[in-house]
Amino acid sequence: MNKLLLTCFIFISLFACKSPEARKPETVKTGSFIKESAIRNKKLLKAEEKAIENYIKAHDSMQFKASEYGFWVSKDSVVNTTNSMTPKFGDIVNFDFNLSALNGQTIYTASELKNRNYAMDKEELFTGLREGLKLMKAGETFTFIFPSQKAYGYYGDENKIGRNTPLISKVTINSITTKK
């Protein structure tokens, strides 16, 4: 019995001293998701640019011009006033606007969106419209074409505007009140 106990003790002590072995990972992650996402976004951008280009060709009388902000703008009406002031940071801009899809379908009418007072760069407003207001003067009406990344982007507005939707917006600035 002592021999058996001694043998078991020696056997256990030999195998108990074994160092732990590192486990190999089950899967190896690569950067394939990022690469696939970049390819998908490039295809989306090309499709949007093509659709916007087709819209501009179909509406050549509006004379759209590319802005430095990454969207297209057409001056519908320009008021001849001595006031050549564009809104600056903190100014209150009173404006009306609507939103449409490139196919001409109205998404939000001006009456649905209502007349708005906006404190320049102090409140939330989608990027394209915020930058577009900076180009305008009181009394002017512009039509903008915003690519999706300048509008509501990947998520849309979670209501009527779908994801990755380029938008057309007709904007009229009623007044600009400078900050004191």
Structural domain containing residue 162: 63-180
Task: Please indicate, yes or no, if residue 149 is contained in any of the structural domains.
Answer: yes
- What does the pLDDT read at residue 18? 61
- What does the pLDDT read at residue 145? 96
Note the residue count of the chain: 180
- What does the pLDDT read at residue 77? 78
Task: Please indicate, yes or no, if residue 38 is contained in any of the structural domains.
Answer: no
Whichever domain contains 130, its CATH number is: 3.10.50.40
Task: Please indicate, yes or no, if residue 4 is contained in any of the structural domains.
Answer: no
Task: Please indicate, yes or no, if residue 113 is contained in any of the structural domains.
Answer: yes
**Mean pLDDT for each consecutive 10-residue tract of the chain (180 residues)?**
78 67 71 85 92 93 93 84 81 95 93 94 92 93 95 89 93 89
Q: Is 77 helix (H, G, I), strand (E, B) or coil?
A: strand
Cα dist. 14→2, 10, 128 in Å? 18, 6, 72
CA nearest to 175, candidates 75, 79, 105, 73? 79
- What does the pLDDT read at residue 10? 77
- What does the pLDDT read at residue 2? 78
Task: Please indicate, yes or no, if residue 134 is contained in any of the structural domains.
Answer: yes
- What does the pLDDT read at residue 158? 85
Q: Which residues 6+ apart lie within 8 Å of 171 measured at CB?
A: 95, 96, 97, 129, 132, 133, 136, 141, 142, 143, 144
- What does the pLDDT read at residue 111? 93
In terms of DSSP H, where are the helices of 17-163?
32-58, 110-113, 127-133
Task: Please indicate, yes or no, if residue 40 is contained in any of the structural domains.
Answer: no
Q: Which residues 6+ apart lie within 8 Å of 122 measured at CB?
A: 89, 90
Distance of CA 40 to the CA centre of its chain: 16
Q: Specify the DSSP element, H or E, that contains 13.
A: helix 2-16
- What does the pLDDT read at residue 94? 95
CA distance 46 to 5: 78
Number of domains into which the chain is organized: 1
CA distance 60 to 40: 30
- What does the pLDDT read at residue 106? 94
- What does the pLDDT read at residue 43? 93
- What does the pLDDT read at residue 76? 87
Task: Please indicate, yes or no, if residue 160 is contained in any of the structural domains.
Answer: yes
Cα dist. 112→99, 109, 152 in Å? 10, 5, 18
Distance of CA 150 to the CA centre of its chain: 5
